[in-house]
Amino acid sequence: MKVTLERNALLKSLGHVHRVVERRNTYPILANVLMKAANGSLDLRATDLDIEVTEAVPAMVATAGTTTVPAHTLYEIVRKLADGAEVRLETDGAEQMLLTSGRSRFHLACLSPDSFPDLKSGAFSHQFTLPAATLRELIERTQFAISNEETRYYLNGIYVHTLEVDKQPVLRAVATDGHRMARAETEAPEGSRGMPGIIIPKKTVGEVQKLLDGAEGDVGIEISDTKIRFTLGGVVLLSKLIEGTFPDYDRVTPKNNDKQLTVDRGSFATAVDRVSTIASDRGGKAVKLAVKDGNLELSVTNPDHGTATEEVAVEFEPESFEIGFNARYLLDIIGQIKSDNAIFLFNDAGSPTLVKEDGDARALYVLMPMRV
């Protein structure tokens, strides 16, 4: 193999590909990136056996060939080369690849590409496209609520499915960890109707989110019962799905919460952040909300450090109301509210609370209360 290509183009593609490679691997080949040079391009591929990322980089191919080299080492070398430099990659069929750029020379150990695993995609039952901005928003509004608890593995991702809302087909994304739930939806794109409900793993969600950063245009999405494939520009990400049944989230979504509180999002978030400074992990980072006469008092009591209170003006019909929440969970949800005001819908101090944006029904959040 003998290839010449531009450093910035190689670095960008390696940036997309090398991230899925785990730092520690049982199999040495999984630490490597597969490089295949042919027909004016260098194809890069990396996998952790659950996710596979492939990207093609334009290159001048003098001699076609295939090899594998350590992914993170190659990325670090290319990152430290001069901006806009020319990079030459050569193998002579031996166990090393020579990388030269300017006066720099590196010999990298190769492993045979024959043992590099191929994540077979199989046949996809549903194919559709979503604007990159729409997919990015669906992920951003829900991914913070993904559970990290391995015992309930089916919560370790975002549940995506289609359904009809007011006789209109929508594509909905849901995530929950049992303490809070995030739900976001968009108009169902052509080709997505009737797709199976799927759970996209947390690591895949994170990788897709990085690929979408600053991206424009459409993202191609293909789905089967066990795999999902995203195509964005020249990058293709193939991932296994989480096998399991996502809980019936609609059953835990409150339907009769009639006590509505309207508060300025910015001042509320700042107040919660300030009073929670003295909250202890032992007390579950609890913050108490007490509403009386158009004022919301936020208070935190820490047996070791003392107390903190702050008042915020609110709109609230009933005379008085008290409830407690985990401050971090509350801040996570408030951080997703894009409107000037946040709407809280309460039932009682022991029941789940609904949080939503002012006037927008595309996203909905459920937060479990705490005893304070």
The DSSP code sequence of 173-224 is: EEEE-SSEEEEEEEEPPTT-TTPPPEEEEHHHHHHHHHHHTT--SEEEEEE-
User: Same domain, yes or no, for 244 and 136?
Assistant: yes
Q: Which domain range does residue 216 map to?
A: 126-251
Please report whether residue 225 resides in a domain: yes
End of a domain among 88, 115, 142? 115
The answer to whether residue 322 scores a pLDDT higher than 80 is: yes
User: Same domain, yes or no, for 111 and 74?
Assistant: yes
pLDDT given at position 131: 97
The answer to whether residue 83 scores a pLDDT higher than 70 is: yes
Q: Identify the CA nearest to 36 among candidates 84, 81, 89.
A: 89
Please tell me the distance from the alpha carbon of residue 275 to that of residue 309, in angstroms, as a whole number.
Answer: 6
pLDDT given at position 214: 83
The answer to whether residue 92 scores a pLDDT higher than 90 is: no
Average pLDDT over residues 180-198: 95
Residue 185 contacts residue 172 (beta carbons within 8 Å): yes
Please report whether residue 320 resides in a domain: yes
Instruction: State the amino acid at position 15 in one-letter form.
Output: G
Helix, strand, coil: what percent of the chain each, to 5? Answer: 25, 45, 30
Question: What's the pLDDT band for 224 if we cut at 50, 70, 90?
Answer: very high
DSSP, collapsed to helix, strand or coil, labels residue 351 as coil
Please tell me the distance from the alpha carbon of residue 91 to that of residue 100, in angstroms, as a whole number.
Answer: 12
User: Same domain, yes or no, for 235 and 266?
Assistant: no
Average pLDDT over residues 344-350: 95
Please report whether residue 10 resides in a domain: yes
Average pLDDT over residues 65-70: 96
- Burial (CB < 10 A; 0-12, 13-18, 19+), residue 354, is buried
The answer to whether residue 152 scores a pLDDT higher than 80 is: yes
Q: Identify the CA nearest to 51 among candidates 240, 317, 322.
A: 240
Give bridge partners of residue 176 from the DSSP assignment: 181
User: Same domain, yes or no, for 146 and 208?
Assistant: yes
Q: Identify the CA nearest to 30 among candidates 111, 135, 141.
A: 111
Please tell me the distance from the alpha carbon of residue 351 to that of residue 252, in angstroms, as a whole number.
Answer: 10
User: Same domain, yes or no, for 105 and 177?
Assistant: no
Average pLDDT over residues 136-141: 96
The answer to whether residue 283 scores a pLDDT higher than 70 is: no
User: Same domain, yes or no, for 210 and 260?
Assistant: no
Please report whether residue 120 resides in a domain: no
Please tell me the distance from the alpha carbon of residue 260 to that of residue 316, in angstroms, as a whole number.
Answer: 6
Please tell me the distance from the alpha carbon of residue 25 to that of residue 68, in angstroms, as a whole number.
Answer: 15
Provide the percentage of residues in the chain whose pLDDT is more than 70.
Answer: 99
- DSSP codes, 229-285: EEEETTEEEEEEPPPS----HHHHS-S---EEEEEEHHHHHHHHHHHGGG--TTTTT
Please report whether residue 200 resides in a domain: yes
CA dihedral 192, 196, 197, 200 (to 10 degrees): -80
HSE-CB for 272 with a 13 A CA cutoff: 25
Please report whether residue 275 resides in a domain: yes
End of a domain among 203, 233, 251? 251
User: Same domain, yes or no, for 293 and 334?
Assistant: yes
User: Same domain, yes or no, for 285 and 223?
Assistant: no
Instruction: Give me the phi and psi of 50, to 5 degrees please.
Output: -110, -35
Please report whether residue 121 resides in a domain: no
User: Same domain, yes or no, for 280 and 260?
Assistant: yes
User: Same domain, yes or no, for 90 and 148?
Assistant: no
Q: How many domains does the chain divide into?
A: 3
Please report whether residue 353 resides in a domain: yes
User: Same domain, yes or no, for 269 and 349?
Assistant: yes
pLDDT given at position 7: 96
User: Same domain, yes or no, for 73 and 149?
Assistant: no
Residue 19 contacts residue 211 (beta carbons within 8 Å): no
End of a domain among 205, 223, 251? 251
Residue 99 sits in a domain whose CATH number is: 3.10.150.10
Please tell me the distance from the alpha carbon of residue 267 to that of residue 228, in angstroms, as a whole number.
Answer: 41
List, for residues 330-339, the tens digit of each pLDDT value: 999 999 999 9
Instruction: Write down the mean pLDDT value for the chain.
Output: 94
pTM score over 0.95: no
